[in-house]
Amino acid sequence: MSSVFSLSLDQELIMTNGVNGGLGGLLAERSSGAPRRRFKRYTTGTYIGLIACAIQGSPDKMLTFKQIMKKLEPFVFGDKRGIENNIRVCLSSNRCFEKVPFDPNYPNPKKNFWKVNENGITPKMFRRHFKYLINIFPGLSIPTQAVDECKDNSHAPEPLACKVAESKSVGKFTGPFSIDSLLKSDREVKRMRSTSLEERVHYGDAQRVVGRELASAKIPLLSSGPQHGHSLPPHITYNHHVLFSSPLMYRPTRYVSW
DNA sequence: CCTTGTTTATAGCACC
DNA sequence: GGTGCTATAAACAAGG
pLDDT at A79: 75
Mean pLDDT of the region A149-168: 33
C-beta of residue A114 within 8 angstroms of C-beta of residue A100: yes
Burial of A37 (0-12, 13-18, 19+ CB in 10 A): exposed
Asked whether strand C has any atom less than 7 Å from the CB of A227, the reply is: no
Task: Describe the crossing of helices A158-166 and A144-151 by its angle, rounded to 10 degrees.
Answer: 140
- Helix H or strand E encompassing A255: helix A254-257
Indicate whether A85 pLDDT > 50. Answer: yes
pLDDT digits (tens, 9 = 90+) for A201-235: 333 333 443 333 323 333 333 333 333 333 333 33
Interatomic distance A249 CA / C11 C1' (Å): 34
Instruction: State the alpha helices, DSSP H only, in A38-157.
Output: 47-56, 65-71, 80-93, 123-125, 144-151
pLDDT at A76: 62
Query: Nearest residue to nucleotide B14 when comparing alpha carbons to its C1'?
Result: A212
pLDDT digits (tens, 9 = 90+) for A193-204: 444 433 333 333
Query: Nearest residue to nucleotide B4 when comparing alpha carbons to its C1'?
Result: A110
Confidence of residue A44 (pLDDT cuts 50, 70, 90): very low
Mean pLDDT of the region A155-159: 32
Indicate whether A100 pLDDT > 70. Answer: yes
Interatomic distance A110 CA / C12 C1' (Å): 15
CA distances (Å), origin A33, targets A28, A29, A176, A222: 9, 6, 42, 33
Which nucleotide is closest to A20, CA to C1'?
C8
Domains of chain A, start order: 38-102+110-136 (1.10.10.10)
